[in-house]
Amino acid sequence: MSLVYVGVFPQLPLPGKGAQIERAIAEIAVALSALTVKHVVVAAAAELLPPPESQGAESAKWPALPTLAPLAPAAGGAIGLLAAALRQAGWQGRIHVTAAPAEGRESLGRAIGSALNDDAEVCALLACGRLAPKLDGEGSEAVSGKRMADLVLQGIKRDTLLLRGLPAHLLAGQNIYNALLVALGTREGAPRLLAYEVLAGTGYLAAEIYRSSPVAGFARACLTHFLTGRPVDEPPVPGEPVLHEPAACFVTLKKEGDLRGCIGTVSPARGNLAAEIKHNAVAAATQDPRFWPVTADELPLISISVDVLGPMEKIDAPDALDPFEYGVVVRCRGKSGLLLPRLEGIEDARQQIDIARQKAGIWPEETIEMWRFQAKRYHE
């Protein structure tokens, strides 16, 4: 897959030191370099884009996306400063720009994601902008701005559904929202806030929305070998240290966004994570009783993620749970059910426990024991 990174980049210049943001910029640049990214598409409000004369004269790299234009090396403004900051931090590559529209933002994101994913060179997308100004005031504009900032931060930290359909009165003064929705439309990922600072009354943030991982890529290689009749032990294990350590994991398959299979282990059952992934990737495709077995023809339509589970911690009450941070295991009379953290549509601990009960076949009136765990999710 050629689209390997999606992030949020703060609008430059910063009105102050912004030490946290500067470190986050460097972290993004390091990620782009480590992933050997050659092309970065920047989605931003039209007001931030350089004038046409500062955009490259050569034909666009992606003809099917006429809104994308290459950035001239000497371009100024916010996007020129973004390019300069990335290069100063060590990344070398080409920048392309597109205006983030007020309508059809996630549709544009999906189109960009598809085009970049099919490209022969490694690509990334960055949303660029700032959150609402006057966050240090007390008037109605400041109240709306703080509410907007809080929803965006909670959406990145906990549930991206919070970012959809924000009311218009919260969007005044900011220019990141449309670009952020474009970014969210490109690929499903595990969003992570890198930094947030209020500088001169305006919010600036940096975040990682999606990052390709060889952990999930290894799961695809194993599954592809199995479904095409080749030995599942044939794919070489990547050098990621986590793959060579004992760990439990769940492998999740989605077909065009819908669940297609999910199988895993609560505790390590094999020598290392790589062996767990080999087994669980094949099991998710062939042994999940909710679905017919996956066929080789479906592989191009399937996305794969791997959740690596941390240690289990016994708990006594639902208030020790947070479905955005912890998964849960419930047990009763030899039956058990598990639910991973950060699942779409799971909003509170009671709902999380009820679904885990249902998966285990445990009646609502039966007494259960509960454990919580954290998990790190890897995407292709």
Question: What integer is the mean pLDDT of 8-35?
Answer: 93
pLDDT digits (tens, 9 = 90+) for 25-53: 999 999 999 999 999 999 999 899 877 65
> Does this chain's domain 3-211 share its CATH topology with 213-309?
no
Q: What is the pTM of this model?
A: 0.88
Burial class (CB in 10 A: 0-12, 13-18, 19+), 161: exposed
Comparing CA positions, the residue from 352, 211, 220 lying closest to residue 280 is: 220
Please say if the pLDDT value at position 242 is more than 90: yes
> What's the pLDDT at 19?
93
Distance CA 213, CA 327 (A): 21
> What's the pLDDT at 236?
94
* 19 or 138, higher pLDDT: 19
Cβ atoms of 75 and 50 within 8 Å: the answer is yes
73 pLDDT band, cuts 50/70/90, is confident
Comparing CA positions, the residue from 292, 212, 218, 294 lying closest to residue 249 is: 218
Q: What is the dihedral of CA 147, 152, 155, 157, to 10 degrees?
A: -110
Residue 186 phi/psi, 5-degree rounding, is: -75, -50
Integer Rg of the chain from CA: 22
369 pLDDT band, cuts 50/70/90, is very high
134 pLDDT band, cuts 50/70/90, is confident
Domain boundaries, the chain: 3-211, 213-309, 310-374
Please say if the pLDDT value at position 158 is more than 90: no
133 pLDDT band, cuts 50/70/90, is confident
Question: What integer is the mean pLDDT of 72-101?
Answer: 88
Distance CA 344, CA 363 (A): 24
Topology at the third CATH level for domain 3-211: Protocatechuate 4,5-dioxygenase; Chain B (3.40.830)
The rounded mean pLDDT for the chain is 91
Topology at the third CATH level for domain 213-309: Glycoprotein, Type 4 Pilin (3.30.700)
Please say if the pLDDT value at position 184 is more than 90: yes
Half-sphere exposure of 263 (CA within 13 A, CB side): 19
Question: What integer is the mean pLDDT of 260-288?
Answer: 96
In CATH terms, the superfamily for domain 310-374 is Hypothetical protein ph0010; domain 2 (3.30.1490.150)
* 375 or 135, higher pLDDT: 375
Please say if the pLDDT value at position 69 is more than 70: yes
Distance CA 218, CA 73 (A): 37
169 pLDDT band, cuts 50/70/90, is confident
Residue 96 phi/psi, 5-degree rounding, is: -130, 150
162 pLDDT band, cuts 50/70/90, is confident
Least confident of 167-171, 245-249, 374-378: 167-171
Percent pLDDT > 70 in the chain is: 96
> What's the pLDDT at 64?
74
> What's the pLDDT at 139?
67
Please say if the pLDDT value at position 292 is more than 50: yes
Please say if the pLDDT value at position 57 is more than 50: no
> What's the pLDDT at 41?
94
Largest Cα–Cα separation, the chain: 71
Under 8 Å CB-to-CB from 236, ≥6 apart: which residues?
A: none
Please say if the pLDDT value at position 58 is more than 70: no
Distance CA 364, CA 319 (A): 18
55 pLDDT band, cuts 50/70/90, is low
